[in-house]
Amino acid sequence: MKKRLIYNLCLIGTMLFGSVLFAQTITGIVSDNNGPTPGANVIIKGTSIGTATDFDGKYILDNVESNAVLVFSMVGFVTQEVPVNGQSQINVFLSEDLETLDEVVLVGYSSRKKSTLTGAVSVVDMGDLEKTRVVNVTQALQGQIAGVQVTSSTGAPGDPIEVRIRGLGTIGDNNPLYVIDGIPTRDISFLNQADIKTMTVLKDASAAAIYGSRASGGVVLITTKSGKEGKISFDVNYFTGLHYASNLPNMLNADQYMNTVEKAWNNSDRTGTNPYTADKGRADFSDTDWLDELFETGKSQNLQFTASGGSDKIQFLMSLGYYGQDGIVIYDNDKYRRLSYRTNLNVELTNRLKIGTNLQLTYGTQDKLSSKGDAPGIIRHALLRPPIISVYKDVNDPTYSQRDPFTDLPFYLNNDRDNGGWESDKYEWASNPVALAYFTDDVRKDFRTFGNIFAEYAFLKDKELTFRTNVGIDLSFIHNKTFGENYGDDDGGGNDTDKGLGRQNRPNNLNEERGEARTITFNNTLNYAKTLNDKHDISALVGTEYINNYSSSIGASRARFDNTDKTFRYIDYGGTEADLWNGGSASEWALFSLFGSASYVFDSKYMVTTNIRADASSRFSEKNRWGYFPSISAGWKISDESFLKDATWLSNLKLRAGWGKLGNQEIDNYAFLTLISQTNGKVVVNRYGNEDLKWESSESTNVGVDMGFLNNKLNVSVEYYVKNTSDILLPIGLPSIVGDVSPTIVNAGEVSNKGFEFSLNYRESSNEFKYSINANLGTVINNVEKLHPNVPNLIGQVTRTEVGEPLNAYYGYKMVGIYQNQSEIDNHLSGTLNPSVKPGDIKFEDINNDGIINSDDRKFLGSSIPDLTYGIAFTSSFKNFDFSFLFQGVEGVDRYNDSKQILDYDTRPFNYTTNILGAWDGEGSSNTTPRVAFEDNGSSKISSIFVEDASYLRLKNIEFGYTINGIKGVQDIRLYVSGQNLFTLTDYTGMDPESTDLIDRGTYPSSTSVLFGLNVKF
């Protein structure tokens, strides 16, 4: 026993001593075609221990075991693994990694080599994407992919982002389908940018038909990051930012305003003494810059922590993220917070069976304020409110209070409405935007669980046949709570109970809503892939999918709260039952699908792919429940043909063509059913159903060519597509004789989209200064081909949808100048008896030349759909420095600038922009801006004056970074500074040319931002 113990101790001692004895220091030089390579990573395989080469390409690694393997890597070069084998010096030459055609790309329920793709599939450059530093992942796609338009609805934190792939195909829902780790969804705002591994966009039907009825708006495939074999590694990324309002209009100051309203009075048919002349120089006047008072410096911060690692059997990744932003409006009632947790786990139980899970938990809170000019219109009122009114009341004013110190009605005095209590006749009573921001209390909360559990088993000798089953959950709980606190001056309104209260939120009120939405996805696939004789690549896939959605909500409201402290802002503390409302509802839908795909590649030169999907949706009646969506595409890699073998300048040339059909089931639940209600025992029809309702269908054809030059340093892709959408779902109103019923949904319309797309990528990695350029450009021509015979056009407030024109085209009168004198009026309006217009009024085109301006003289004035979208991304590195920028823009798009109409052209004494200083003031003085007046000068008409070119070029992002290597225990530290929206080139006179709204009523602008960040890997 004693001998054995001594033996074991000696053995352990020998092993410990040996491990130290054989651990050694490794040195060496890493070089490439240009000489020594600084910044290359050198890591001991299976660990997080490593270093980076210095400016001379040298490295030193201590305590390296003799049987270790060193991994040498750098962006743009082929990664190499070199066994130590007792060596003390290891020099490595890195070869450029220019061959990207064999990259594996996710294309649906399976993956394919990029070199064999035949459809319109675009892979997002994740290196460019991660530099965008945005909270919403969809916004990071802006300017990255040809034919993909990404637009912020507003610049307010937490507001939604709109994505359009190859234009608008329908009057209804044009949103793309997102598929995250195999689970479909319509929203990815909960995702963390740092958790994403790959993003692939399926743009045409030949690529997206495998997703059938939900893919008419395109498909975005996303895979999240997973752990790798080796010791646990950590990644910490933190940045903080400052945000500023920019591109604001120049408003009149107090003196300019008084001169302008004085002139407006003189130019109008008013009698008596001009009151504005007498008011000049009043002691109680202020000189308020309302935009300056409203906007402040916003702040943001982001912290992302990731840990990953594992063995050869189990790999994991865990991440924790926080993002917070205080917007650019005063009082921080426009803030957004998001906390997220993700865990991804992959387990290889046997060499054939794998299981795993991907799960994310997200909790988001948005303090919402009116960001689109909608009521109460904080931004809009900052534009409208006259500068002569101060922000705060005088403390000696009898109406002043600490709870509500803000001015409201202009020059409201002594609570005396009937004897000049406020000067509403002279100074229009727009709301105080600072007070609106202060009293806003609208909080939206969302807790979301999104993830999946999967299992995968490989059959046959070489594992050619794989079965995968996948169950996903998308579960969200919302809680929206809005309290409208009463404030402002008493204007004499309200019912008897509320007499004497301020005019804003009279009476105070609380609205609260809670809801739940649950979507369960269950899909199963059987995938076969085999290569025969190194010539024939065969793959086939069949599958089923079942999706079930259930949502419910409950809400209540009360008014007249005696105590408005936040502690008592709950339903139970509201007024009597007369102030009570409550309600609730629920709905559900389901989708069952069968699908298949097959592809064949011969000799890596000739390729063909087919897809078919059959969907059954509960949103349609039984006779139209099933929809069928086929596609076929083919490719020819011409560069591999013998007749091009001597074309050394040509690295790749592939021709692609595809055709397919997609569907759209995104309509209201139960739209095919007749809805009835019962009131006082009487049954009433609310809407007549349509049992013949069927799927929208999009048929598309795509032709593309991929070219590579200079050993694939330069890659160019060109696409041409035609997309025709038929059986568009339209709401058709029934004749009044039928009764007061809601419109019935019918299949009626047809819309076409066609265009070109160009993508270019150039990468230079052979020199010490390494860089890449990605550029893209997409065009689209949108046209309405057909509408219902009973609905020849769809009329909006400022738009009209009509056959032969784009969807939602602007429609109205065209301005051709300013009437300079009475003679010009008489000649142009020769058919009008006693025209009321005056010199200085707007002159409109008389289309039918009858001498009368009426509704027959309206025409189409512009399109809300851009003709062209583009982006240019540049990334570079030199030694340990890196630099990148992204330009993004749109051309050929118009927007109706309602803010312009109500500011410089309204008949009420709101404030004006400085453009009004160039208004017509006598014959020959202006032919673009009419006379300023308190009467209609033609500006009440919807006209081309307010339909502005909203094209723009914007520097979306610019970033400069420096990486520090060589710190013991730390892989690297990167410091960076980033700028966003630093400048915008546009002719649009509104606050922001980038908006999803057809009408700009005063949109919360995108902010200019400066970010400072730190990324540590160890």
Domain residue ranges of the chain, discontinuous segments joined by +: 2-93
CA 248 to chain CA mean position, Å: 23
Q: Where are the beta strands (DSSP E) in 733-787?
A: 744-764, 769-779, 781-786
What is the spatial distance between Cα 791 and Cα 224, in angstroms, rounded to a whole number? 46
Average confidence score pLDDT of the chain:
90
Q: Band of the pLDDT at 133, cuts 50, 70, 90?
A: confident
| CA distance to 238, 537, 606, 630, per residue, from 598 (Å) | 45, 11, 14, 12
Is the confidence at residue 283, as pLDDT, over 80? Answer: yes
Q: Identify the weakest region by mean pLDDT among 255-259, 406-410, 559-563, 672-676.
A: 672-676
Rounded to an integer, the average pLDDT of 380-407 is 93
7 versus 369: which is more confidently predicted? 369
Q: Band of the pLDDT at 317, cuts 50, 70, 90?
A: very high
Please enumerate in sequence order all residues whose Cβ is within 8 A of that of 184, keeping only pairs 6 or more positions apart, or say none.
177, 178, 211, 214, 521, 547
Q: Band of the pLDDT at 33, cuts 50, 70, 90?
A: low
| Helical spans, DSSP H, in 372-497 | 378-384, 433-439
Closest CA relative to residue 617, chosen from 600, 593, 595: 593
pLDDT for the residue numbered 819:
96
What is the spatial distance between Cα 732 and Cα 690, in angstroms, rounded to a whole number? 11
Q: Band of the pLDDT at 37, cuts 50, 70, 90?
A: confident
- Beta bridge pairs of residue 1005: none
- Beta bridge pairs of residue 751: 725, 784
pLDDT for the residue numbered 14:
37
Q: Give ∠ CA 361-366-369 in degrees, rounded to 5.
A: 165
Closest CA relative to residue 502, chosen from 390, 389, 415, 373: 415
Q: Which CATH class is domain 2-93?
A: mainly beta
pLDDT for the residue numbered 102:
62
pLDDT for the residue numbered 411:
86
- DSSP, collapsed to helix, strand or coil, labels residue 186 as coil
pLDDT for the residue numbered 6:
45
| Helical spans, DSSP H, in 769-864 | 822-828
What is the spatial distance between Cα 940 and Cα 444, in angstroms, rounded to a whole number? 37
pLDDT tens digits for range 749-800: 899 999 999 999 999 887 889 999 999 999 999 999 999 888 888 899 999 9
> Exposed/middle/buried for 646, CB within 10 Å: 0-12, 13-18, 19+?
exposed
What is the spatial distance between Cα 55 and Cα 880, in angstroms, rounded to a whole number? 8
